[in-house]
Amino acid sequence: MGKTLPTKYTTVSIPKTLHARLEKLISTKTGFKSVSDYVTFVLREVVTMHETSQSPDPFSSKDIEEIKARLKALGYL
């Protein structure tokens, strides 16, 4: 009991400038304690999105109405 499960980690390289920007970002905004935690979180989200093909709709309902009006005026609908 109380024994933590072994977790395997590996290292990925990111540009130092990006690392510096991430450090600044998490210190002010995200609440993450380390760049590694933040990067893991973001990558998990992105990978899941790709694996499930559930990317968020890039168009808002207002966008869709506007695009539909435009396509209609052009004869596409």
Partner 1 sequence: MRKVAVIGLDSVPPELLYDKLLDRLPNIRRMYEKGVHGKLRSCDPPITVPAWMVMMTGKDPGQLGIYGFRHRKGPSYGEGYIVNSTHVKERTVWEILSSHGKKSVVLGVPPGYPPKPVRDALIVSCFITPSADRPFTYPSQLKEEVLKAAGGKYIFDVTFRTENRDAIREELFDMTRRRFDVAEHLAKEHEWDFFIMHEIGFDRLHHAFWKFFDPQHPKYVRGNKYEKIDEEYYEMVDGRIGRLLEIFGEDCLTFILSDHGSKAMKGGFCINQWLEKEGYLAFKTDPTSVTDIDKAEVDWGRTKAWGWGGYYARVFFNVKGREAQGVLGPSALASEKKRLTERVLKIRDDAGKRMGNQVFEPEKLYKSTLGDKPDLMVYFGNLDWRSAGTVGHQGMYLSENDTGPDDSVHSMDGVMMMYDPRRSLKGAEVRGAEISQVAPLLLRAFGLDPAKEGIEVRPPDGMVERVA
The footprint of partner 1 (CB under 8 A) covers 53, 55, 57-60, 63-64, 66-68, 70-77
Residue 42's CB is within 10 A of a number of other CB atoms, namely 13
Least Cβ distance, residue 33 to partner 1 (angstroms):
26
Residue closer to partner 1 (CB basis): 34 or 49: 49
Least Cβ distance, residue 74 to partner 1 (angstroms):
6
Least Cβ distance, residue 72 to partner 1 (angstroms):
4
Residues in the chain: 77
